[in-house]
Amino acid sequence: MKRIFNLFFVFSIALLFFSACKTDGFSKSELSLIQSESSNAILPLFTINVKSDSILLRNEARSIKKKYIGSETLEHLRKRMYATVIDSLNGGVGIAAPQIGIGVKMIYVQRFDKKGEPFEVYYNAKIEEYGDSINSGREGCLSVPNYQGYVSRSQDIAISYLDSVGHFNREKINDFTAVIFQHEIDHIQGVLYYDHIVNGYEALTYKNEF
């Protein structure tokens, strides 16, 4: 009987240890940030004005394993990212996880090409093909506050991604929505929009001057 009790005790401790170590693919610091507040609370934006933020923004993000999609931690992050991008003080049309300090390939894009113009989440998004039609348009970024610049982007792209339930999809995107996807996918590759501009950041204009 004592042996059975000891085995049960060891098993219980192991189970608790496994639960404590379960991170759903996130580091301890990322978990702390994700779980710091409720799911409807916005997250602080990382900007190029802070050196440590800028370093993270320049790193390529990690792919998200399909098995983690739908997990409690990832769902909590998804809801907080959504709350952040729709917050009236931000007013963005898209956001990427690195912009709130989480180094994974997760983006939100406002689908202006769909009825109701919904925000949708995408995991491991990748541009598979760029179309030949190129337009130059004005862009800004939540992580580059107060500045804007003109960027040349393809108006037709083909992308692949995992959707909100982990299904793999390929899709062709056009016009302004295609521009948003390119901007956000840049983020998960460590690229900022002014990297596409001749003279880069120095060529940006204070947004109130437009």
Active site residues: 184
Secondary structure of 12-50 in HEC code, one letter for each residue:
HHHHHHHHHHCCCCCCHHHHHHHCCCCCCCCCCCCCCCC
Q: Are 108 and 90 in contact (CB under 8 A)?
A: no
Separation between Cα atoms, residue 53 and residue 26, nearest integer Å: 18
Sign of torsion over alpha carbons 190, 193, 195, 196: positive
Strand 205-206 and strand 168-174: pairing? Answer: unpaired
Q: Are 206 and 147 in contact (CB under 8 A)?
A: yes
Q: Are 96 and 184 in contact (CB under 8 A)?
A: yes
Hey, how many other C-beta atoms are within 10 angstroms of the C-beta on 62? 17
